[in-house]
Structures are given as C-alpha cells and as structure tokens.
Amino acid sequence: MGLRRPIDGRKDRLVRVPDRGISVSNRRKRYQEVADVIRDRIARGEWQPRSQIPSQVEMAKEFGVSGSTVSDAIAHLRERRYVWTLPHKGSYARPAEHWREEPS
C-alpha cells in the first residue's frame, strides 16, 4: 500500500492506495515502468492492434501515478511506435510490424 493525495485535491490528508506493481527503482524512472507495462500489454495482445487503449486518467488511477507520468509513458511509446495518438480522441495500439526499440 502506498500513500498519495486524494483526487479531490484536499491537501490536508493522504489516502492509501493499493500497490499496482509500479515501483521506482534507483535506475529507472516511473514513466519507464508504466511504459513497460503498457508495452507488455500490447505485445501480449491484451490490447489489439489499432484498438484504443485506456485513457491516461484511467491508467493513472490503475497504476497509482500522476497523469503526467502516464503522459510521459505514452510519449515514450509513441517515439518507439508502439502507439499513436489522435488529439482529443485517445491513443491506439500499433501493429507489431511498426514497433522499434530505439527512436530514429
């Protein structure tokens, strides 16, 4: 269980949130951990190619991280062509033939 500020914005208390398996190691940043989970779900076929993945808000709640952390993870995956994003529509899983490990 971790602690974080509640979504309602009250700063006078912290709420307990379940551990979602996203941990911060001393060598990796949190957005990289989130990106790895998203990438693994796409690679395993949990999210089919060309299908919309959950919103950043939904993933932030699921992983117990901030929306900007999920946004950074999505940007990281976009550079590697695992996803593409349409403004105001969401992000979508790309087919495997488009993936690359290093951005060009």
SS3 state of residue 37: helix
Residue 86 lies in a domain: yes
CATH number at residue 46: 1.10.10.10
Residue 15 pLDDT > 60: no
CA 46/CA 42 separation, integer angstroms? 6
Average pLDDT of 21-41? 78
Residue 1 lies in a domain: no
What's the pTM?
0.71
* The predicted structure's pLDDT at residue 1: 47
- What is the tally of structural domains in the chain? 1
Q: Tokens at residue 73, please?
A: 């993870």
End-to-end alpha carbon distance in the chain: 39
Residue 8 pLDDT > 90: no
Q: How would residue 22 be classed by pLDDT, with cut points 50, 70 and 90?
A: low
Residue 8 lies in a domain: no
Segment 66-88, tens digit of pLDDT: 999 999 999 999 999 999 999 99
Residue 25 lies in a domain: no
In which domain, by residue range, is 93 found?
A: 30-104
CA 69 to the chain's CA centroid: 7
